[in-house]
Amino acid sequence: DVKVTQSSRYLVKRTGEKVFLECVQDMDHENMFWYRQDPGLGLRLIYFSYDVKMKEKGDIPEGYSVSREKKERFSLILESASTNQTSMYLCASRNRGLYGYTFGSGTRLTVV
């Protein structure tokens, strides 16, 4: 069974900290995505990567960066965490040429 694994289910960080959210997929998928989910706002795309070392900004990239050094791993970085980045973060992957996404279970980040 295909898997997208997010390293942490819950995180609490302080304002100004640098935060790393890790995502690993075991399906040899080329495309990977980071979304944040907030009540009433749905799923909003932060960044995506269509191949190793490639990245593109999504709809809300401000305050975030990403890294994809290996095909299976896609990291989301909050350079200086702020309280408005408290949210559920979802990673997803998709194989080239296919439409469906596979999501991880999410990381609930609280910035205090």
Partner 1 sequence: QQQVKQSPQSLIVQKGGIPIINCAYENTAFDYFPWYQQFPGKGPALLIAIRPDVSEKKEGRFTISFNKSAKQFSLHIMDSQPGDSATYFCAATPNSGGSNYKLTFGKGTLLTVNP
Looking up tokens 């749905």 gives 42
Nearest to partner 1 of 12, 18 (CB atom): 12
Q: Count residues contacting partner 1 (CB under 8 A)?
A: 27
Which distant-in-sequence residues (6+ apart) come within 8 Å of 104 by Cβ? 4, 5, 6, 23, 90, 91, 92
31 near partner 1, rule: CB under 8 A = yes
Q: Which of 59, 1, 4 has its CA nearest to residue 29?
A: 4
Tokens of 34: 């980071």
Residues 43-62 that bind partner 1 (CB under 8 A): 43-45, 48, 50, 56, 58
105 near partner 1, rule: CB under 8 A = yes
Which distant-in-sequence residues (6+ apart) come within 8 Å of 59 by Cβ? 44, 45, 46
Nearest to partner 1 of 15, 88 (CB atom): 88
Binding window for partner 1 (CB under 8 A); candidates: 13-21, 38-46, 67-75, 78-86: 38-46
Positions touching partner 1 (CB under 8 A) are: 4, 30-31, 33, 35, 40-45, 48, 50, 56, 58, 90, 92, 96-97, 99-106
